Amino acid sequence: MYTTSEQLMPLPDLWLPLPSDSGIATDILTAQNARLWALVLEARYVPVRVEQNSAGWRVLVPASAFARALREVRLFEQENSNWPPPPPPARPLEENTLSTLSVLLLLAIFHNLTRFGVTLPGHASSDWFDLGNANAAAILDGQWWRAVTALTLHADVSHLAGNLAIGGFIAVLLCRELGAGLSWALLLGSGILGNLTNAYFQLPAHRSVGASTAVFGAVGIFAALSAMRYVHHPNRRGLIPAAAGLALLAALGTEGEHTDLGAHLFGFLWGIGFGIAAEFRLATSGRPGRMVNALLALASALIVIVAWWKAFTAGS
């Protein structure tokens, strides 16, 4: 009795296709699923190969590893059955475009009053820009109202038009998203805090005017709202609005000889903080009601009025 070398060679292992689903008698997969299963099995050190035929794609494993491979892909499918998560539901937008545009019109009218030298009753003729600009030394000395009044002043018509064009577009969108009162309160808050923070880091002689600090606050708010809304999205969609906001800051917030980069940057950063808080509020309690929005709008208007009253009182 004797053996040959061919008889000593082990028989090749039989390769079997994995079924596409435990309840369906087919082994045909999509190209994406076939590649994904292959990656899963390779990560678990299971021999695998992927082949394509006229019907579609198949994933094959050795017969000796079939049970293990089937278990691994079933566990993978169970753990990822609800992935990717569905996008967040779209919120209905509020129709308040007219009220938002009315505020922008008031800002334009106010600019004309300051340029024509109109003064308040009982006060001598005063320079509105001298009284209301964001003077860093004066703000740090306690004249907090300058952080507010500077938002309502503009150097010239082109400065005003630029802020109204860009800021108006963003303000309309933001007011429809959050409600007019909450939006203007957040815009004003980011502008005020942006000017206050900027004064701390600037030289004492630094002066600035313009609503662009609040405009970039609006950009930050929008970026944070979208980033928070898509924070769990697998394709990192939430990073897109944040990157877009930074790109807009770099493109529009740094150009020009008299551009106040610090005010734009700090307005943007405060806007991000307010946007995170606003999205958390929307996700947990919903959009503020009409009464709350009205109170927030009234409070925002009163802050501006009181700030200018303080400016004229201190300057008289």
So what's the pLDDT on residue 92?
67
pLDDT, tens digit (0-9, with 9 covering 90-100), for 256-302: 555 678 888 899 999 999 999 998 888 788 788 889 988 999 999 99
So what's the pLDDT on residue 70?
87
Q: How confident is the model at residue 249 (pLDDT cuts 50, 70, 90)?
A: low
So what's the pLDDT on residue 231?
61
Mean pLDDT of 241-254: 56
- Distance separating alpha carbons of residues 121 and 119, to the nearest angstrom: 7
Task: Return the bridge partners of 15, or none.
Answer: 62
Mean pLDDT of 160-171: 84
In the predicted model, is pLDDT for residue 55 greater than 50?
A: yes
Cβ atoms < 10 Å from Cβ of 18: 20
Q: How confident is the model at residue 162 (pLDDT cuts 50, 70, 90)?
A: confident
Domain 97-315, architecture per CATH: Up-down Bundle (1.20)
- The third-level CATH classification (topology) of the domain covering 12-79 is Alpha-Beta Plaits (3.30.70)
pTM flag (> 0.85): no
Q: Does residue 138 contact residue 314 with C-beta atoms inside 8 Å?
A: no
So what's the pLDDT on residue 255?
54
Q: Of the given ranges (5-9, 145-149, 271-275, 279-283), which has the lowest mean pLDDT? A: 5-9
In the predicted model, is pLDDT for residue 111 greater than 90?
A: no
So what's the pLDDT on residue 271?
93
pLDDT, tens digit (0-9, with 9 covering 90-100), for 218-227: 888 988 888 7
So what's the pLDDT on residue 99?
80
CA-CA distances (angstroms) from residue 122 to 126, 132, 179, 233, 303?
A: 11, 18, 37, 59, 21
Q: How confident is the model at residue 74 (pLDDT cuts 50, 70, 90)?
A: confident
Q: Does residue 27 contact residue 19 with C-beta atoms inside 8 Å?
A: yes
Dihedral sign, CA of 275, 276, 281, 282? positive
Going from N- to C-terminal start, the domains of the chain cover 12-79, 97-315
